[in-house]
């Protein structure tokens, strides 16, 4: 894992957070995608204004590329940080490090996504160190259950993270040739929460508060085409088919291609954006023609939601949920919605029937018969 240190320092008479790391192009390029990050020639470091929000923002941004972050000098506790220090886990030895690198290559050969690979490798690293702490090489069901309790349950990790841990460990055992099914590892059931959905007026308020044409175009695209943020920032100029009024989504979740709708009103906005920014490869590009970052997009949305005074917990995925729900309320067959969203199972799409106002309004309230 690449090591990065977050250090407080004063620059231009203001308290800043310096991001220190050894020369690494991948970290440098990734950092440049972060909104509000700057480079100081005199200090030879990236930096950002010191604030609780920025501490979390920088941490999450660097964790996305699997960096090991030392934030001890900030004298703070950041959320979602695995408290491995509680267990005083031993460091990986040379053999374990080599084995972990081979495991990563093995996962990559399975053509898993980069995020999934990084997550599985990180979890496995903790599991190997936990086994070393327990002085055992016997990766038994009992050891995994003990790791699960100490590392996940005791630290109140989410069910989603617990499932990722179990998936990662199972992949590692498979890589090591251990009979996984015989261990009978069970994943906890996820909470079934209904998605947050915005109404049309709330969407208008968000778009009205987004004045930068690139930002408005990106948010409008996610809603009008029902895209995941990864799909939106991966889009290339050539993927827009204005003659057929379709958008070609390539290699989406599950490594599937699909087509989704190209709105006429959105196309007008897109043409204005294109004339102003003239993107070369990716439809949305950051500084230097690099791919736009999801964290920047989330910051844009958060700012617009705040300015609009909305109280709902809105994320970029909320725009996709809203697209699907509004299609359903307008009478679109749920099988078409499934295709547009790229869901492999209709069960996933059916969740929108639970949040559709049209469906709920059709129900006659028995109180009205009294």
Residue 320 is among the residues annotated as catalytic for this protein:
yes
The question of whether 23 is a catalytic residue gets the answer: no
| Catalytic status, residue 335 | no
Catalytic residue among 228, 273, 321, 326: 228
Structure-token match 């630290």, residue found:
155
**50 assigned to active site:** no
DSSP states of 29-98:
HHHHTSTT-EEETTTTEEEEE--HHHHHHHHHHHHTTTEEEE-GGG----TT---GGGTTPPPP-HHHHH
How far, in Å, CA of 84 to CA of 103, rounded? 21
Looking up tokens 């993270």 gives: 161
What tokens appear for 151 in the block? 């590392």
Query: Is 211 part of the annotated catalytic residue set?
Result: no
Residue 343 is a catalytic residue: yes
Burial 75-107 (b: 16+ CB within 10 A, else e): eeebeeebeeeebebeebeeebeebbeebbeeb
| Edge-to-edge strand list for the sheet holding 14-20 | 38-40, 45-49, 14-20, 2-11, 67-70
Among residues 55, 129, 320, 326, the one annotated as catalytic is 320
Of these residues, 5, 49, 250, 253, which one is catalytic?
253
**Residues involved in catalysis:** 228, 253, 317, 320, 343, 352
């Amino acid at each position: 894992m690449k090591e990065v240190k977050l250090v407080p320092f004063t620059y231009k008479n203001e308290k800043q957070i310096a991001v220190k790391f050894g020369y690494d192009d991948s970290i440098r390029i990734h950092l440049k995608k972060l909104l509000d990050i700057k480079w100081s020639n005199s200090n030879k470091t990236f930096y950002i204004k010191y604030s609780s929000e920025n501490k979390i923002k920088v941490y999450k941004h660097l964790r996305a590329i699997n960096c090991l972050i030392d934030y001890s000098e900030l004298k703070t506790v950041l959320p979602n940080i695995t408290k491995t220090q509680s267990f005083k886990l031993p460091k990986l030895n040379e053999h374990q490090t080599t084995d972990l690198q081979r495991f990563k290559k093995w996962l990559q050969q399975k053509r898993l996504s980069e995020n999934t690979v990084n997550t599985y490798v990180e979890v496995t690293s903790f599991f190997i160190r936990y086994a070393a702490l327990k002085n055992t090489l016997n990766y038994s069901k009992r050891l995994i259950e003990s790791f699960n309790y100490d590392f996940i349950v005791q630290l109140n990790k989410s069910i989603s993270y617990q499932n990722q841990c179990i998936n990662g460990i199972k992949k590692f055992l498979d890589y090591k040739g251990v009979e996984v099914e015989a261990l009978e590892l069970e994943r906890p059931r996820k909470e079934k929460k209904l998605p947050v959905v915005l109404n049309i007026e709330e969407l208008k308020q968000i778009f009205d508060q987004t004045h930068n044409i690139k930002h408005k175009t990106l948010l409008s695209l996610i809603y009008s085409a029902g895209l995941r943020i990864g799909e939106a920032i991966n889009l290339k100029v050539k993927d827009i088919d204005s003659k057929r009024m379709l958008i070609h989504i390539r290699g989406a979740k599950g490594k599937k291609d699909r087509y989704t709708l190209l709105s006429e009103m959105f196309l007008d906005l897109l043409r204005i954006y294109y004339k102003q920014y003239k993107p070369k490869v990716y439809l949305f590009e950051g500084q230097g023609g690099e791919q736009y970052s999801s964290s920047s997009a989330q910051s844009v949305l958060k700012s617009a939601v705040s300015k609009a005074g909305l109280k709902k917990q809105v994320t970029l995925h909320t725009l996709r949920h809203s697209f699907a729900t509004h299609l359903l309320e307008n009478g679109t067959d749920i099988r078409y919605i499934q295709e547009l969203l790229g869901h492999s199972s209709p069960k996933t799409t059916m969740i929108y029937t639970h949040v559709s106002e049209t469906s709920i309004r059709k129900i006659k309230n028995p109180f009205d018969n009294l």
